[in-house]
Structure 1
C-alpha cells in the first residue's frame, strides 16, 4: 500500500537531486566551493538543494520546523528544535560534500522527520545509483520499494564486514579499533558518505558501521532505517542513539548479536 508521506518526500529529494545536485556534479567552479569550518567545505549545491528541500517540507507539513545542515552552520540555535514538540525535519542536502566537491562518488541526499523528538520517518537517496531507502517508524525499511528482511543469523566476528571511520577517533581509541580489526573479517576505511554506508547495510554489503562524530543529519535517517530492518544503533556504552544527544561514538549493526560481536572485537568489551 502506498504511503503518501514516503512518496512525497522521496519525490522532493529526487527533484532536488535532479534540478540542483547532479547538474553541478563535476561542474563546480572554484567560486562554488567554500570552507564553512576548518577542513569542512560547502558548495552552492548544498545551499540551493537545502533551500529547495526545506521549502517543500514546510509545504508538506505547515508549521513544521526544518533543521538543515547548512542552516545550522549559520544558526546553531536551530538544534534546539530536536528536543522540542511537534514536527521537525532534519535535512542533509548533500551528504558526502567532500566527495561531491572533489568530483568523486558517492554522495547522498537525506531527510528525517521527528515528532515530539522521536524519529518517525526517514529517507536516504543516492542520486547517481538511483537508490532510495525510506521508512516509517514501525513499518519496516524499504529499499527501492522492497521491504528489507532482518538478518537471520549473526556470523562470527571473523566473517563480518563493515566500516570503521577512524579519521576522527582519538589516537588511542583509533589504535584499539585498528588492532581489533584483525579479528573482523574485513574492516573497511569508509566512503566519506554516511548515507551510502547505511544503504550498503540495507543491501547486506556490510554488517556494521563505526563512527566517532555523530551529527544528527548524518545519522538520524540511516539509524532509523537500520533499526526498522532489525538492526541497532548504540553509543559505545550501549545507550541507544538519539539525534539530540551531543555525545561521541556510534556503533550500528544489522542485529543486536552482531553489535555485541563487533563491540567486543573493536572496543574490547
Structure 2
C-alpha cells in the first residue's frame, strides 16, 4: 500500500499539478476567503487522488481540503470508523499560485481515528517523505530520524507561523522568542516544515490554525522519526481533535525547551 499510494501521489503531482506551475491563467485562480487561494490544480488534483485512493482501498472515504470547502460536513468523516484518507491536493497553494516554491501534495490514512500512514511529496524537488505507524519515517527510501539531543534554546532553529495567532498569543510569543536561537515565519507550506523537523533542518515548528490536511500527514512523519507533536497545553495531537495551536519538536527535551522559553510561566493564553 505504501508504494502504491506513493506512485499515485507522484503521478498526480507530475501530470496534474506540475504542468500548471507558472502556467495558471487568471480565471484558474480564485479566492476562497481573504488571502486563501484555490486553483484549478487543487481541484483537479483532489479529484484524481480521490479516484485513485478509493480504488486502492474500496470502502474508504476521502476528507480533502476542497471537498470540505464545498461541504464542511465532509470533515466529520474523520471521526468515522474504518479507513479515511486525508488529502491536501496542493499544500502551499499561495506559493504555487504565485509561481514560488515550496508546494507539496500530501496524503494520510486514518483508521478508526488514528493516523496509520502518511505521504508528503515536495513536487518541484521530487522529494518523497513517507511514514507508517511503528515502521519509521523515510525520505526517498532512506530512514530519517530527528536529533536526540537538546543543544539548548539559544541554539535552536525553527518556525513560528504566527499569521493566524490571536493577538495576545502573538504578542507573548514574539516577545519571548528572542530566547530562541533563530526563528522565522515559515515557508507557508506545512508539507515542507514537518519533514524539515524530521530531518533536523530545523528543530521546531509552531502553528495556530490546525486544519487536518495540513497537519495529519506531517505529524505522523515527525513522530515516526522520533519527534513530538503536541498542543500548546501539552495534549497530544490527534486527527479528530478540535484544539488550536501546535508545537512540533524534534524530541521531548526540545519541546520542553521551546515551550518553557515561549511560556516561562508554563501557561499559554487561555483560549489555546
User: How would you bin the TM-score normalised by the shorter chain?
Assistant: over 0.9
Residue 158 of structure 1 contacts residue 183 of structure 1 at CA under 8 Å; is this kept in 2?
yes
Show the counterpart of 1:13: 9
Matched, 1:47 2:43: yes
Q: How far apart, in 2, do the equivalents of 1:158 and 1:227 lie?
A: 24
SS class of match (1:167): helix
Confirm or deny that 1:108 pairs with 2:104.
yes
Residues 161-183 of structure 1, C-alpha deviations (whole Å, 9 max, x = no match): 00000111111111111111111
Q: Which string of whole-angstrom CA distances, capped at 9 and with x for unpartnered residues, describes residues 34-81 of structure 1?
A: 112232110000000000011000011001010110001001111111
> In the aligned structure 1, how far is the partner of 2:148 from the partner of 2:239?
28
Query: 1:133, CA displacement in angstroms?
Result: 0.4
Deviation per residue, 1:143-191 (Å, 9 max, x gap): 1111112422111000000000011111111111111111101011110
What is the TM-score with the length of structure 2 in the denominator?
Answer: 0.96
Write the distance in 2 (CA, Å) between the matches of 1:153 and 1:203.
14
1:173 equivalent to 2:174? Answer: no
Moved over 6 A (4+): none
* Residue in structure 2 matched with residue 244 of structure 1 by the alignment: 240
Is the contact between residue 146 and residue 200 of structure 2 (CA under 8 Å) also seen in structure 1? no
Q: Does 1:64 align with 2:60?
A: yes
Instruction: Give me the TM-score of the superposition, normalised by structure 1.
Output: 0.97
SS of the equivalent of 2:19 reads helix
Cα distance in structure 2, aligned partners of 1:244 and 1:152: 29
2-side partners of 1:200 and 1:135: how far apart? 14
For 2:163, what is the secondary structure of its paired residue?
Answer: coil
Q: How does 1:10-159 map to 2 (within 5 A)?
A: 10-159=6-155
Structure 2: stretches of 5+ with no match in the other structure: 267-272
Q: Contact (CA 8 Å) 1:143, 1:202: kept in 2 or not?
A: no
Q: Distance in 1 between matches of 2:14 and 2:44?
A: 12
**1:204 deviation in Å?**
1.0
Give a deviation string over 1:105-134, Cα, whole Å, max 9, x none.
110000000011110000111011111000
Q: Distance in 2 between matches of 1:209 and 1:100?
A: 22
Q: Is the 8 A contact 1:107 1:126 kept in 2?
A: yes
Query: 2: CA distance between counterparts of 1:183 and 1:252?
Result: 17
Computed over aligned residues only, the root mean square deviation of the Cα atoms, in angstroms, reads: 0.9
Please tell me whether the aligned partners of residues 215 and 243 of structure 1 are also in contact (alpha carbons under 8 angstroms). no
Q: In structure 1, how many angstroms separate the alpha carbons of the residues matched to 2:158 and 2:62?
A: 32
The correspondence for 2:159, drawn from 148, 156, 163, is: 163
| CA contact 1:162–1:206 (8 Å) conserved in 2 | yes
Q: Would you say how many aligned residue pairs link Structure 1 and Structure 2? A: 265
Report the Cα distance in structure 2 between the residues aligned to 1:230 and 1:243, rounded to whole angstroms.
19
